[in-house]
Amino acid sequence: MPSASHQPSTDGVDLTTCDREPIHVIGRVQAFGCLLSVTADWLVNHASANLEDFLGKEAEAVIGTRFSELFSAGVAHMLRGKTQTLGGGTSVARVFGYRLFDNERRFDIAVHQTARGFTYEFERTADGHGHGDMQLVQPLVARLRDHAEIGPLCDEAARAMRALTGFDRVMIYQFAPDGTGTVVSEACDGEGERYLGLRYPASDIPRQARKLYEHSRLRLIADVDGPEAPVLPGLSPEGEPLDLSLSICRAVSPTHLQYLRNMGVAASMSVSILRGGELWGLFACHHRTPHYVDYETRSAVELFAQLFTYELSERLHRNDRAEETAARSLHDRVMSRISDGCSLMEDVQGLADEIWDVIPFDGMVIWSDGRFVTLGAAPNETEFQPLVRFLNTAAVNSVYATDNLSARYPQAEMIADRVAGILALPISRHPRDYIVLFRPELAQIVRWAGNPEKPVETCADGSRILSPRKSFEAWREVVKGRSAPWTRSELNAAGALRLTLLEVVLKVTDEAGRAQARAQQKQELLVAELNHRVRNILNLISGIVSQGHREGISLSEFTAELDGRIQSLARAHDQLTKEDWAPAPLRRLIEVEAAACPGDGRARIAIGGEDVLLMPEAFTTLALVLHELVTNSVKYGALSNGDGQVAVRFAREADGALRLDWRERGGPAVRAPDRQGFGTTIIERSIPFELQGRAQLDYAVTGVEASFHIPGRFWREAPRPSGSEPAATTTTAPDAQPLAGKVLLVEDNLVIAMDACDKLKKLGAETIHVTNSVAGAMEKLGAGGIDFAVLDVNLGTETSEPVAHALAARGIPFVLVTGYGEQGQIRKTYPPSPILQKPYVLGGLRSAIADLLERTPGDAKRA
């Protein structure tokens, strides 16, 4: 497609003059109508000079008078009432064939709102008023529906518009993104030139004219040589001209009138074709002699154009869906071809074949992780390096495409024998990696409607101005240095492919397991969920502390109880953060969540039902829901006092679903919350949204009641108990002290280290060496005398793995502690050892040490 370079810059002549011409405040009207403008308080502020020809009132005489003085009371009332039907913006109210005065003359009237009031326009009603053009619209639209493709649809629409309006020629003119336009359909009487397939430069319909077509959808020029009437006065008292953007009879730019004369056109009409509120194209109607289209017919034309737009949009939308399907298919094929952990470089030819089916190209380069692979007609690595630096200056979040690389990239000459256009897909951020597609030069012949370069003429006073083109014969231009253009569907497919490949690259290169880029909405939800959950945990801990204090128990009892409850919270949180687990018992989930209740809350939760196993995805969802129910009950419901009871029951339904009921009794009177918070949203929407089940939450006065239905695919029967006696468990007495000797504590958090020292001393440690780094730990080990160690896995900028291997090599037992829920990677990289989950308590640390020392053989058992 030709670029702006086809518009010359000639000796000081400003080629944007047409784009800046204020055609919406032109200050004149065509002779087929007159104009009357009023203020918001109904005083006449403007009138066209031809007002007397239509209404018998001298224009200058009515300026500043009351609108009601120009008409009878009934007519003035009707005209004022029409303003109440305006919807604002660009709407126009219309009246056809109305008698304004006591005679046989009838008028077609239009009124629209302006910034300072209202503008009325009057046209004489044509002979044969009510000639039934509106009745023609429906059968003409019915003919459109017979055409499934856009080309035949536009051809039929052009024929229909010509039949409806009587113009010699009707064309459908489609705009390109650069403002140029092409005649895609044409219906004419067979005389004169044919314009089908010709392209027109953007300056033929300037930018501000295209913008005006989005607001005023029909434009009639009844006679290019007809008289015009000025709008009086030319300026308001504030010095502003009257805005004629929505005026029906607005006069025409002299440049455009000369343009039409040069084409041999005496009358024209343009009707906007909008898609999604943007100008897709125009119906362009031409006549060799003056041709007036009455207001009623023009209204039928506008209706037909709108209905045509619906039909066109449906077919364009269908094409868009087909393109989206092709892009999704490309995504699926690429994902199936590149398996997890597989590099893009391992199947370059296969990847190229998949892309070529949707986006044809002649050469491809993959630049990923410092590696370079090329296929077909493409630059070599030396030539590609400066191109990468050029691409690095483009936006990172979108594809970069051009069919004329030499116009934007100074070093394109060295690869011009192979490359004219590129399509670059950034598939990473730091550093940027790319897949770049190349197309060679494709010499094109562009058929313009005359020379697209406007001629410059010298006036008698020596000034130089732009003149409208005088020749509209097909003018052919050979365009070189360009490739075949990248189409909109190809660019859309490239954008989707970029996201696909970005996902693949992230899977391969992200060592932390961030397998793919998550959508922004998902990220925000996770952040909100995390924030909400942390706040809930802090609130629960506050309740545990305050309620335990009110019981008046001893400090040691209070500390032990507090430790146990915090450990219960930690176990519940651990259940939520695990990702790789087997189906787990529902009863245990409820018990874990109930164990976090302050005071005797756990004893007041009755659980009933034959146990089942929940699938991992359902386990996580139910944990969130139950956590919110327990938390809300502790805050506001049955567990907020000393008497309330909660009953949790679950049972199998006849349809295979699992039903879980929550019933609260004995608590404070319940009142529904004034607003729905995040917690309530989790309760009511998690199961329907995540599991496609059902949830019902009722705020009964006697206590909150909730029922949940979990589909059968998310649970299964639990194994029945064998009936044998449970295995005995051995628990170290609370006052037992399994440790003796020197302990190495590796921990990077000062508060946690201090708390751990207290616990180790209670367990019998004689000396505790504390360090927060691998180097410090290795120094302590080198000094000798260490009997036992406690290692934090993550030390901020490093891990304790080297220390663990050094301990294992020396036969010194150690325990690992971590704040991460996922322990699989730790077990793969660290020597065998017990793992404690943060926050850990005295009892958990005692059990882990006792178990480890019990299993430590021979001389290695030093404590």
Inform me whether the pLDDT recorded for 199 exceeds 50: yes
Residue 477 sits at the vertex; the CA angle it makes with 474 and 482, to the nearest 5 degrees, is 140
Q: Does residue 431 have a cis bond before it (omega within 30 degrees)?
A: yes
Share of the chain above pLDDT 90, in %: 35
- CATH no., domain 742-860: 3.40.50.2300
Q: Which residues contact 115 (CB under 8 A, 6 or more apart)?
A: 243
- Is a pLDDT exceeding 80 seen at residue 459? no
**Closest to 619 in 3D by CA, of 581, 673, 662, 667:** 581
What percentage of residues in the chain have a pLDDT greater than 70?
A: 77
More confident residue, 563 or 211: 211
In angstroms, the CA 557 to CA 563 distance is 10
Domain ranges of the chain: 338-442+484-509, 521-717, 742-860
The pLDDT of residue 462 is 47
Task: Reply yes or no on whether the pLDDT at 653 is more than 50.
Answer: yes
Q: How far is CA 843 from CA 180, 567, 615, 855, in A?
A: 79, 9, 31, 18
How far is it, in rounded angstroms, from Cα 820 to Cα 835? 11
DSSP 794: B
pLDDT band for 553, please (50, 70, 90 cuts): low
Residue 420 parent element (H or E): none
- Please give the Cα distance from 538 to 594 (Å, whole number): 16
Q: Is the pLDDT of residue 522 over 60?
A: no
d(CA 357, CA 832): 52
Task: Please tell me the predicted confidence (pLDDT) of residue 149.
Answer: 92
Contact between residue 48 and residue 236 where contact means Cβ atoms under 8 Å apart: no
The confidence band for 704, taking pLDDT boundaries of 50, 70 and 90, is very high
Q: 742-746 and 767-771: which strand pairing?
A: parallel
Asked if residue 863 has pLDDT above 70, the reply is: no
Over residues 545-573, mean pLDDT? 53
Q: What is the pLDDT, as a whole number, of residue 572?
A: 45
711 pLDDT higher than 90: yes
Tens digits of per-residue pLDDT, 245-304?
889 899 988 888 888 888 889 999 999 999 888 899 999 999 999 999 999 899 999 999
- Has residue 861 got a pLDDT over 50? no
Helix (H) or strand (E) holding 365: strand 363-368
Residue 822 has pLDDT above 80, yes or no: no
pLDDT at 556: 64
For the segment 122-180, what is each residue's pLDDT rounded down to a tens digit? 999 987 666 667 888 889 999 999 899 999 999 999 999 999 999 999 999 998 887 88
Residue 529's H or E segment, with its range, is helix 520-550
List, for residues 465-499, the tens digit of each pLDDT value: 445 655 555 555 656 778 888 888 888 888 888 88
Structure tokens of 72? 């009878």
User: Across the chain, what does the average pLDDT equal?
Assistant: 80
Res. 314: pLDDT tops 80 = yes
Determine the pLDDT at residue 489: 82
pLDDT grade, residue 516 (50/70/90)? very low
Tell me, what's the pLDDT at 547? 43
Predicted confidence at residue 178, as pLDDT, reads 79
pLDDT of residue 598: 77
Per-range mean pLDDT, top range of 192-196, 446-450, 643-647? 643-647
pLDDT of res. 470: 57
pLDDT band at 537 (very low <50, low <70, confident <90, very high): low
Return the pLDDT at 448.
Answer: 62
Residue 277 φ/ψ region, left for φ over 0, alpha for ψ in the -120 to 50 degree band, beta for the rest: left
For residue 517, the 8-state DSSP code is: P
Return the DSSP state at 66.
Answer: B
* Residue 777: pLDDT over 70: yes
Domain 338-442+484-509 architecture: 2-Layer Sandwich (3.30)
Report the pLDDT value the prediction gives residue 725, as an integer from 0 to 100: 40
- Asked: is 521-717 a CATH 3.30.565.10 domain? The reply is yes
Bigger pLDDT: 843 or 783?
A: 783
Tens of pLDDT along 712-766? 999 988 887 654 443 333 333 344 456 778 999 999 887 788 888 988 888 888 8
What integer pLDDT is reported at residue 450 of this predicted model? Answer: 58
Given phi > 0 = left and psi -120 to 50 = alpha, else beta, which region is 80? alpha
Question: Once rounded to an integer, what is the mean pLDDT over residues 643-660?
Answer: 93
**pLDDT for residue 836:** 84
pLDDT of residue 568: 44
Q: 175-191 pLDDT, tens per residue?
A: 888 788 889 999 998 77
Q: In this predicted model, which residue has the larger pLDDT, 544 or 771? A: 771
Distances from the Cα of 817 to the Cαs of 250, 534, 826, 835, in angstroms?
81, 21, 10, 6
148-157, 236-245, 334-343, 767-776: least confident range: 334-343
Element (H, E) at 329: helix 295-337
Higher pLDDT pick, 11 / 442: 442
- pLDDT at residue 2, rounded to an integer: 33
pTM of the model: 0.50
Neighbours of 831 (CB within 10 A): 14
Q: How confident is the model at residue 225 (pLDDT cuts 50, 70, 90)?
A: very high
